[in-house]
Amino acid sequence: MDATTLKMLAMGIAIGLGVFGPGIGLGLAVKAMIEATARQPEAEGKMSKYFWAGAGLIEACAIYALFIALFISSMK
């Protein structure tokens, strides 16, 4: 197994395992958002503000994994 093969393997594992958690996290966030909106449609403005902020934070965790995958590809 030379360096290039290991690098490709590492990139695949990094991004594959890395988006596992944030995917579940975003699903839970959207679930809570839909349930809360169904319960109280008039509070949707405040809830959507919290939702988008939360989604941005959760997405950042997936982006950390992508960043590491791209960083591995640029190493020697």
Question: Binding to other proteins by residue 16, rule CB under 8 A?
Answer: no
Question: Binding to other proteins by residue 21, rule CB under 8 A?
Answer: no
- Give dist(CA 47, CA 10) in Å, integer: 39
With CB under 8 A as the contact rule, the residue among 63, 72, 75, 76 that binds other proteins is: 63
Report which DSSP code applies to 42: G
Residues 26-55 interacting with other proteins (rule: CB under 8 A): 52-53, 55
Between the alpha carbon of residue 6 and those of residues 11, 15, 16, 63, the distances in Å are 9, 14, 15, 22
User: By the criterion CB under 8 A, which residues form the site for other proteins?
Assistant: 52-53, 55-57, 59-60, 63-64, 66-67, 70
